[in-house]
Structure 1
Amino acid sequence: MTELAAVLDHLDNTLEDSLERLFALLRIPSISTDPDYAAECRNAARWLVDDLVSIGFEASVRDTPGHPMVVAHHPGVRTDSPHVLFYGHYDVQPVDPIELWEAAPFAPGIREIEPGRKVITGRGSSDDKGQLMLFVEACRAWKALHGHLPCRVTILFEGEEESGSPSLKPFLEAHKDELKADFALVCDTDMFDPETPSICASLRGLVGEEITITAASRDLHSGMYGGPAANPVRILAKILADIHDDDGRVTIPGFYDGVEETPSQVLQSWQAMGTDAANFLGPIGLSVPAGEKGRSVLEMVWARPTAEFNGISGGYTGKGFKTVIAGQASAKVSFRLVHRQDPDKIRAAFRQFVRERLPADCSVEFQPHGGSPAIQLSYDSPLLTKARQALSDEWPKPAVTVGSGGSIPIVGDFRTYLGMESLLVGFALPDDRIHSPNEKYDLTSFHKGQRSWARILDALSRRGT
């Protein structure tokens, strides 16, 4: 029997014990956003340190201005194997509204939600305590069977992810020499479906802008001034309408600089997933894609940049009717970025686009709302290839490489402060109700997720194979 096979058998035989450990962690109400739970956040950090020490990690609670970090290190047996940094977070969301919970949120248990489908219940079961404990259990099994880990491992567990991570960037910068590894493993993601594991290879970046156009010095009577007076609502609406052409492409000069076409084999794999406009848009009451013509919905969400309008205001918007011409009109605009698009250049190009369309007597002010580049892992990366094969060996269906329409800030922070790329593998499901009452985590995800991380550690430890 190989080392890996023995580890997988051990994980099967100790599933009940691993559940009890997860339940103990889930019982700690580590709500990071509420100061009343600060002591519980520290209790969760201490619990994790004690557990990691018990399996041979050098682990400690690290204080920050907010909730503490957990940092742990363990050497690997293979001197030529890579050094990995595994990231998760032990803090959880508040439980309100409490009356909607079917069981106490911090009294975890097992429940059958449909024939043959058992789930772990409780706040944090999916986001992110259940997910991070999968990796810990995989490490525990390696140590129990062989007395070592297949590669060098550093662990970073955060206690403020659900409250904006205010301490994370300073901590990474202050401890970059200690935390720097060959690459990071991030567990806070989903499977494509209950039988299909996924690896997230791309995260879209973001540029947020709020613009305010001012015309007259005050709101005007539309009967007395309508016609001669510039109307900032009309001006704003025209500028926003100019941002897209009839094919759904963004018209801002230079917007597509750095945007690459997705490899044809990747597009084919996405097409094979069976997601089309009908089943993607149908549940939200839509049917016709509104983005770039000639692109599938998955390509639009995972691999193409966008410009979206998130709010428009100006003039009278209360009940009833008021015949005024507004003195000001505002809009909130967000750009999702891909590949090598530069957030600063996108912001500057957008502002120039607006200024060039501004009539005489009008002025514009801009307020930035964050900016971050996209994250893109090479689709043929050896790291991704090894992990994809390891996952395919474990689950009923082969692993798929996906993208994310949103952002996971920690991935950008690892690149910025530690110079590391990240591999994003998680085993949550879309119906896990994270951040909502009755959060759950499939028992299959918990069991096969442990086995998956054991396989990934083994695969990653073998350089050049």
Structure 2
Amino acid sequence: MAVSDFITTNKDRFLNELIDLLKIPSVSADPKFKDDVFRAADFVKESLVKAGADVAEICQTAGYPIVYGEKIIDPSLPTVLVYGHYDVQPADPFELWDSPPFEPVIKKTKEHPGGAIFARGSADDKGQFYMHVKAFEAMMASGELACNVKFMIEGEEEVGSDNLDKFVIENKEKLAADVILISDTHMISMQDPSITVGLRGMSYMEVEVTGANRDLHSGTYGGAVANPINVLCKMIASLKDENEHITIPGFYDKVAELSAEQRGRLNEAPFDLNEYKEKLNIADVHGEKGYTTIERVGIRPTLDVNGIWGGYIGEGAKTVLPSKASAKISMRLVPDQEWHEISKLFENHFKSIAPDSVTVKVKTHHGGAAAVVSDSSLGYQAAEKAMEETFGKRPIPTREGGSIPIVALFQKELGTDPILFGFGLDTDALHSPNEHYGVANYFIGIETIAAFFKHFRTLSAQ
């Protein structure tokens, strides 16, 4: 039985298995889901065993485990390393979900007329990494596995992959491969397939502003004592100027300007601004002056408040001057911006702009480097041929605004450019309520991954 026939015959099972995985609330950021994260790791291990892996093991770390698996059919053949993550973002706010986040349902959408699976982790990254497990199973069952394959599926990507560096550095021989596949990005559309060749880095901070030693009566003390919420808002507002240019001294020192030719190629990707605004229900876009929307999310650094809190937010009124106010702030970084350096620049600047009436604490949560990957490697050529085979159209190289710290780590420690082989869409509500992943995307992803193995072996033999 051919790979495509095996996939068709087992479609219902493949889909139901993914749904079972999505039911596990493997939220790495929240300790109350600790047992569920470990349960998801067990699920991945068992899936690899059932698919045909000779080795499938749970590798403990100082945090959540990494699931490793492999099938070596012939040491002389090329080896493909698959990376993914089984942990997911918190589902909060739950009340904004149309259906419970860990009770997957399939519904039709404008972008997914054949149906999409609505569940936390469906697109990021359970639905995407599980495609590789099913492609592996299909190739094994049909006798068409063209390359050796290794799997490294971790459980801490959504909290910064703190223990991944150590694991990779200590297991270089174990992880050695000729190409690395990562499906944790998106395409332009099902009609315009694309392969990501650039990702931004990340620096994630938390700040706390403290005024008086306790909450105060706003009538007795209002106007005489600093309100930390007011101060925090003013400090945050000062981090950008009227052109949305970040004001932290030294922030742009290592940001390289792309040439007009490079920017022109980037903007050749299909993009309809009116459709973009319509999908988001916004009247206009917003961002750094002098750059297009594609450039703002692909090649320019950013600073955004991800959460802010303080004072009384319950029902009714409480006239209080809060003692503290806090915010979480992320900065997306571009190549050559080192995240530890940017975090320190942020900390020094944020403390320097605080008035004497408050004290400030700044904490670095996590970060990662930006990455640009080659679009001329054998791996990219194989991915290009595979997509052209299954989509009937040559994919477009694009840069994406998200961050995957493992990419730069792989480049540095394993000396290999990963292929960012994502099949989601930017409308799939990653990290948001009602996250979903197209059923058609899932299956064409499985088919395309199998085609990649075939093309990579052929190219490697030339």
Q: Tell me the residue number matched to 1:71.
A: 68
2:451 is aligned with what amino acid? R
Q: Tell me the residue number matched to 1:192.
A: 188
Instruction: Answer yes or no: is 1:50 the counterpart of 2:59.
Output: no
Instruction: Answer yes or no: is 1:281 the counterpart of 2:273.
Output: no
Instruction: Answer yes or no: is 1:301 the counterpart of 2:297.
Output: yes
Alignment equivalent of 2:81, drawn from 50, 64, 85: 85
Query: Residues 163-189 of structure 1, C-alpha deviation per residue, up to 9 Å, x if partnerless?
Result: 886775554455343123344211233
Instruction: Answer yes or no: is 1:406 the counterpart of 2:402.
Output: yes
2:11 is aligned with what amino acid? L
Instruction: Answer yes or no: is 1:13 the counterpart of 2:5.
Output: yes
Moved more, 268-277 or 86-95: 86-95
Q: How does 1:130-169 map to 2 (within 5 A)?
A: 130-140=127-137, 142=139, 149-158=145-154
Question: Which structure has the bigger radius of gyration?
Answer: 1
Q: Tell me the residue number matched to 1:4.
A: none
Shift of 1:308: 2.2
1:135 is aligned with what amino acid? H
1:72 is aligned with what amino acid? G
1:206 is aligned with what amino acid? M
Q: Distance in 2 between matches of 1:25 and 1:236?
A: 47
Shift of 1:425: 0.9
Contact 2:218 2:319 in 1 (8 A): no
Shift of 1:391: 1.6
Cα distance, 1:151–1:189 mapped onto 2, change above 3 Å: same
Matched residue SS, 2:186: coil
Instruction: Answer yes or no: is 1:32 the counterpart of 2:64.
Output: no
Query: Residues 202-231 of structure 1, C-alpha deviation per residue, up to 9 Å, x if partnerless?
Result: 22222233344556777697898848x777
Shift of 1:307: 1.8
In structure 2, stretches of 5+ residues that fail to align are 28-32
Q: Tell me the residue number matched to 2:30.
A: none
Q: Tell me the residue number matched to 1:6.
A: none
Q: Distance in 2 between matches of 1:181 and 1:322?
A: 62
Moved more, 246-255 or 124-133: 124-133
Q: Distance in 2 between matches of 1:152 and 1:127?
A: 26
Shift of 1:356: 4.3
Alignment equivalent of 1:202, drawn from 193, 198, 206: 198
In structure 1, stretches of 5+ residues that fail to align are 1-8
Contact 1:78 1:151 in 2 (8 A): no
Alignment equivalent of 2:420, drawn from 398, 420, 424: 424
Moved more, 197-206 or 122-131: 122-131
Shift of 1:12: 3.0
Query: Residues 7-52 of structure 1, C-alpha deviation per residue, up to 9 Å, x if partnerless?
Result: xx92333333332541463446544354665896466345323333
Instruction: Answer yes or no: is 1:343 the counterpart of 2:339.
Output: yes
Query: Residues 94-115 of structure 1, C-alpha deviation per residue, up to 9 Å, x if partnerless?
Result: 9989x9659x957x9x98879x
Contact 1:87 1:186 in 2 (8 A): yes
Query: Residues 408-458 of structure 1, C-alpha deviation per residue, up to 9 Å, x if partnerless?
Result: 344455456655442211223456677899986545334432332233223
TM-score normalised per structure 1: 0.75
Matched residue SS, 1:367: strand
Query: Residues 288-331 of structure 1, C-alpha deviation per residue, up to 9 Å, x if partnerless?
Result: 3331112111211122101223455677777558596x776654
Shift of 1:85: 0.7
Q: Distance in 2 between matches of 1:271 and 1:44?
A: 41
Moved more, 299-308 or 446-455: 446-455
Q: How many residues align?
A: 447
Q: Distance in 2 between matches of 1:232 and 1:180?
A: 51
Q: Distance in 2 between matches of 1:153 and 1:369?
A: 34
Moved more, 117-126 or 388-397: 117-126
Contact 2:204 2:328 in 1 (8 A): yes
Q: Distance in 2 between matches of 1:253 and 1:460?
A: 46
Q: Tell me the residue number matched to 1:456.
A: 452
Cα distance, 1:175–1:284 mapped onto 2, change above 3 Å: same
| Identical positions, percent | 31
Aligned CA-pair RMSD? 4.6
Contact 2:38 2:65 in 1 (8 A): no
Q: How does 1:357-436 map to 2 (within 5 A)?
A: 357-359=353-355, 363-381=359-377, 383-411=379-407, 414-415=410-411, 418=414, 420-429=416-425
2:56 is aligned with what amino acid? S
